[in-house]
Each structure stands twice: as C-alpha cells, then as structure tokens.
Chain A
C-alpha cells in the first residue's frame, strides 16, 4: 500500500513552508509522516543535515513522547522543543499522521516560531486533507 500527493499539493506545501518559515529565518523544515517518510524538505541553502535519518528519529521520538503522554493521562504534549547552543528543533503534529520538524537558530525566538508554525500548520492541514491514497 502506498500514498502520494500530486504536483499541485507538493508545490503548495513547499510554498507555505518557504514563505511561512524559511523566508523568516528558519534554517530547515522537514515535513514527514509518522512512518518516517519525508514529504517535503526545505532549507536556507546552508544546511547539510542528513534529513532521512532525522526523519526516522523524529518520527520515533514523537511516537515515544506521545506514548509517554498517554501513560500519564495526557492526550499529547502541546510543546515539543529541544534547545541547543546554536540550533534548536521544534516538532508540531499535523492531523494524525504528519509531523513538521523545524530547525532554527538564535535569531528566531521560540514564541515567534511557534506563532509562525501554527499559521503554517493550518494551511498545511487543508492541503494534506486532500491526500490521494492508493
């Protein structure tokens, strides 16, 4: 079994992520599914991350955190964020099956990022909901 998105959907997703996050100073965005597949990845041209490994780990990590939330009686944790010395990583669940991974530096504040991610997520939701499953 597989699923896909058409060109128009992929172009729309890229546009949302480019204009909504990368153009504002975010270093790298990776939209993945919960299996660890990469749907779209964009960066500012300076990043050389191993995005396939990142996607596998992000999906696993998110799954683990969600299970922990359920064990303590939460549906899910609203903020998933790791802070580094120069790079930070933020995760945002989209619908049931997708995850937006955002990597950003010191020049972008967490509050501003969360606001912009939330805006992008709303737009992405409407694009993803028209998934072509086979």
Chain B
C-alpha cells in the first residue's frame, strides 16, 4: 500500500516482480540498475542462496521524479521463484501496489508459468487483494532464445494461458539483452500512478 508523505511531498510505491524460478526477475532488476544508475542512489540489495538464486528478495529503490509536486519513489522488489520459498514470497507481497509477472517463454516451462500465476492469485487473496483489480503487467521473457534454437511458446499461447482472463498489458522481452525491460517497468509505474492519481489530487 503506497504511503503518501504530505510533509515531505513524497509517495513511496511498491512494485513486485513475480514469476516462476529462473524466469528472469532478478535479471530485469539488474538491467534496470545498470541502465538507470543516474536515478538510483544506492546499491541493489540481493539476498541470495549460495547457488546464486534469490533466497528472499532483491530490492532496488528508483527515483521517478515528480508528479503533481510529489517526489515519486518506486521500490522495485523481486520474489524468490522457487516453489519451496512461498513463505518468503508471500512476505514480499505485503503492501504491493503493482505486479510485473515475468513469464518464462521456454516451452518446457509452460506449466511453471501457470502454477506461478495461480500462486500469485492465492497469495494476493491472503492480503485481501484481487489480481483482477491490482495493476499488473505481463512480460514474456527470454524471446531471444529463439535465435539459439530453443523451443519457445508462441506469444499467442502465452496470452491464452496467462492473459485470457486478466487482459493485462503484455510485452515480449529479453531481460538479458534489455529488450522491453524499461517498457515493462514504465508501463507498470504508469498503471500504479494512474490508480493513485485520484488520491493525490
């Protein structure tokens, strides 16, 4: 839940990158950290396992500039994608204002995507939030792997699997190459800000 500080004229917003393990959530944040370092005043925080997988979350505070005289501070988080870490994943979702669902385009990960989206839905319900009304953007990641001959799910299939009911904005992306990473982030920030705009008047 965003906090509006009337005294400091500041709004803090929480956006969580969600999705199956090894889908590219951390890679999204790493790209943003590298690309937008002039807007980021601190180090990216990453709590990882020894095997370099996300254990708890990654955290990246991002200065978005001003809207209606308010400084907008975007807090970007990732969750651990591995199924066994649901307790920590749920903790990170607390107070979320918007979600980027990073789906893995690889054919072999089809079921992992749908499982993870269902898990997101369940975890949001625990916080009395509805996936249909929360700002959400879908990102179909790893599209670059097609060049290497890796079998990928067609975007139409991903849309059918994940976005048929949600009807959310979606992007084909490559977090490794940076394709549509910024666009995904801008879209979710815009959606969250629109939902908050009425309250800032």
B2 at the interface (CB under 8 A from A): yes
Contact call B5/A4, Cβ cutoff below 8 A = yes
- Bound together, the chains give a CA A36 to CA B96 distance in angstroms of 10
- Bound together, the chains give a CA A2 to CA B7 distance in angstroms of 16
Partner of A60, one of B6, B56, B199: B56
> Given the interface contacts A2-B1, A4-B5, does A34 sit within 8 Å of B42 by beta carbon?
no
A4-B6, A7-B7 known, 14 other contacts, Cβ within 8 Å: A2-B2, A3-B1, A3-B2, A10-B7, A39-B5, A50-B42, A53-B45, A56-B45, A56-B57, A56-B77, A60-B56, A63-B91, A64-B88, A64-B91
Partner of B87, one of A37, A38, A67: A67
Q: Which residues between 33 and 64 of chain B lie within 8 Å of chain A, taking CB atoms? A: 42-43, 45, 47, 56-57, 59, 61
B106 at the interface (CB under 8 A from A): no
Q: State the interface size on chain B (CB cutoff 8 A).
A: 31
B75 at the interface (CB under 8 A from A): yes
Q: Which residues of A contact B6 (CB under 8 A)?
A: 4-7, 10
Contact call B87/A4, Cβ cutoff below 8 A = no
B131 at the interface (CB under 8 A from A): no
- How many CB-defined contacts (below 8 Å) exist between A and B? 88
| A interface residues (Cβ-Cβ under 8 A, vs B) | 1-7, 10-11, 33-39, 50, 52-53, 56-57, 59-60, 63-64, 67, 134
Q: Which residues of B contact A33 (CB under 8 A)?
A: 1, 3, 95
For the residues of A in contact with B, the DSSP-based class is mixed
- Bound together, the chains give a CA A53 to CA B95 distance in angstroms of 16
| B interface residues (Cβ-Cβ under 8 A, vs A) | 1-7, 11-12, 14, 42-43, 45, 47, 56-57, 59, 61, 73, 75, 77, 87-88, 91-92, 94-97, 196, 199
> Given the interface contacts A64-B91, A134-B199, does A1 sit within 8 Å of B59 by beta carbon?
no
Contact call B94/A34, Cβ cutoff below 8 A = yes
Q: Which residues of A contact B87 (CB under 8 A)?
A: 67
- Bound together, the chains give a CA A33 to CA B7 distance in angstroms of 17
